[in-house]
Structure 1
Amino acid sequence: MTPQPCPLPSRDRTGLVVIDVQEKLVPFLDRKEHFLATIEFLVRTVRLLELPVLVTEQYPKGLGPTEAVVREWLTDSPRVEKITFSACGEPAFEEALGRLGIVEPILCGIEAHICVLQTALDLLGSGRVVYLASDAVASRHAHDREAGVETARRAGAVVTTAETVAFGLFERAGSEEFKAMQKLVRQKDEALARTLPLR
């Protein structure tokens, strides 16, 4: 019987993969402000713990670089350019995962039903445990995002949220790093509140 993946990632095996959060794609996303606030929180939390982060960019000559609000926190993270929808189709991606020691990746990015999904499926197919931060993935249309997340879940990905990942990685309160993460949670919540319609 195949062992079930742990519902929470462990620091010594995981890292963040930021998929195609690019300047010419972001403006067309459904709930883009919510997505950007959440993905910024996730990136900053992972960096706080000094865990590896790997960035992909789909045809950056046409779709532009990584969005500035995210790129600000990724200045020293390796980037892999690709033209395949699955990042696994680019040999440099697999090489980077190995070099960074990312055995059980946490996926975030766009689009949930295309590049994120195909990357998740290929990673699962290679025998890896894959965590999908469902509130840190986006598509142009809500139904596409929902379908992408559900397809990944059915294929075996551990579908979770940015906060679940963050608190799972910390495990306990009290450290200075945890206090810094709590501040990031508050900043995220304030940003999300600004995206809500006035009642």
Structure 2
Amino acid sequence: MMRPEESVLLVIDVQGKLAGLVHESAEVERNISKLVRACRVLEVPVISTEQYPEGLGRTVEPLRKLLEGEAPFEKTAFSCCGSEDFMSYLRQLNRNDILVTGIETHICVYQTSVELIEYGYNVHLVTDAVSSRAVENRDMGIHCIENAGSWLKTTEMAIFELLRVAEGERFKQISRIIKE
């Protein structure tokens, strides 16, 4: 089970026009937004990346506002692990559970997840917060990430796993986030 003090949320490449072209794009963005806001309440660090932003554009505006003050890690490798800056920052956090979200599931999300598993991290793929342009690619990406050793979670499952108890101010804040 994940614990806030051991976890990190990773938002991979939700950027530009591509973000609007993926299957169920509005739901994916809404779920990533819920995760970011819940992680803020639970004091879980959030890391975001952008794949070649000069060509693909920046992180979509609604998520960029939520991530304000934290520059995304720019990359050209499909896997986030191909960025030395990203890996250095991740290692400094000294947390082993990585909640993975973003696009595209069968490329950047897949390659990142598999490499993180190879490096010894526990990957928790949030299946309703990842997508690809084609459903088949999303589904195959999820399948291959699971076979590599990832835990599969939904947005609500991940948030309530991190929260653990239905009491207190954090629970009230999380409940409002979930209901939106």
Partner of 1:108: 101
Using the TM superposition, give the Cα deviation of residue 78 of structure 1 relative to its aligned residue in structure 2, in angstroms: 4.1
Q: Give the TM-score, by structure 1 length.
A: 0.87
Deviations 1:121-162 (A, max 9, x none): 001111111111000001101111111001000110011111
Runs of 4+ in 1 over 3 A off after TM superposition: none
Whether the 8 Å CA contact 1:16–1:53 is kept in 2: the answer is yes
Contact 2:131 2:138 in 1 (8 A): yes
* Corresponding residue number in structure 1 for 2:133: 140
Which residue of the other structure, out of 108, 124, 127, is the alignment partner of 2:120? 127
Distance 2:120 2:92 in 1: 18
Structure 2: how far apart are the matches of 1:101 and 1:46? 17
> In structure 1, how many angstroms separate the alpha carbons of the residues matched to 2:40 and 2:149?
27
1:152 pairs, out of 145, 148, 151, with 145
1:37 maps to what in 2? 30
From 32, 41, 45, the equivalent of 1:48 is 41
Q: Tell me the CA shift for residue 102 of structure 1.
A: 3.2
User: 2:74 maps to what in 1?
Assistant: 81
CA distance in structure 1 between the aligned counterparts of 2:71 and 2:38, rounded to whole angstroms: 18
Q: Please provide the CA RMSD for this pair.
A: 1.0
Aligned residues: 180
Unaligned runs of 5+ in 1: 1-7, 188-199
**Is the Cα–Cα contact under 8 Å of residues 4 and 43 in structure 2 kept in the other structure?**
no
Deviation at 1:34, TM superposition (A): 1.2
- 1:92 corresponding residue in structure 2: 85
Query: For residues 53 and 163 of structure 1, what CA distance do their matches in structure 2 show?
Result: 17
Q: Which runs of 5+ in 2 are unaligned?
A: none
